[in-house]
């Protein structure tokens, strides 16, 4: 192992994670972390810098997970869901939903 052959892309696909079909990785594996017990449905698109925690996360079929999204443990994401960039998902999402962040606001001037 040398400096050129042991590089990590900050990627970890947990050993026990299951995928119904291979995920669609439009930007490659760049920074994607999937918990060891995650269950990922069919036709799931995962963009860069996504984290799916350990702890029973279930992702349905035909889901798009945007850049930088973070899915907390125990969350169940329904089918045909779109999760926007940088969303922190802390509760279950029903089928056919779209999740986005609210408008950023200044809290200190």
* Cβ proximity of 40 and 23 under 8 Å: yes
- Token pair for 11: 């990627």
Indicate the helix (H) or strand (E) that contains 81.
none
DSSP 8-state symbol, 91: S
**pLDDT reported for residue 93:** 97
In angstroms, the CA 107 to CA 4 distance is 44
pLDDT digit string (tens) for 96-105?
Answer: 999 998 777 7
pTM, two decimal places: 0.86
DSSP for residue 93: B
pLDDT tens for the chain, residues 1 to 109: 444 444 456 788 778 899 999 999 988 888 999 999 999 999 999 999 999 999 999 999 999 999 999 999 999 999 999 999 999 999 999 999 999 987 777 778 7
């Amino acid at each position: 192992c040398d400096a050129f052959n042991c590089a990590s892309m900050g990627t970890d696909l947990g050993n026990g994670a299951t995928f119904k079909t291979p995920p669609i990785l439009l930007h490659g594996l760049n920074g994607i972390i999937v918990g060891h017990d995650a269950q990922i449905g069919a036709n799931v698109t995962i963009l860069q810098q996504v984290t799916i925690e350990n702890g029973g996360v279930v992702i349905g079929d035909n889901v798009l997970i945007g850049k930088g999204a973070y899915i907390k443990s125990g969350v169940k994401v329904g089918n045909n869901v779109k999760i926007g960039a940088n969303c922190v998902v802390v509760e279950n999402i029903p089928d056919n939903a779209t999740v986005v962040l609210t408008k950023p606001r200044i809290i200190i001037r």
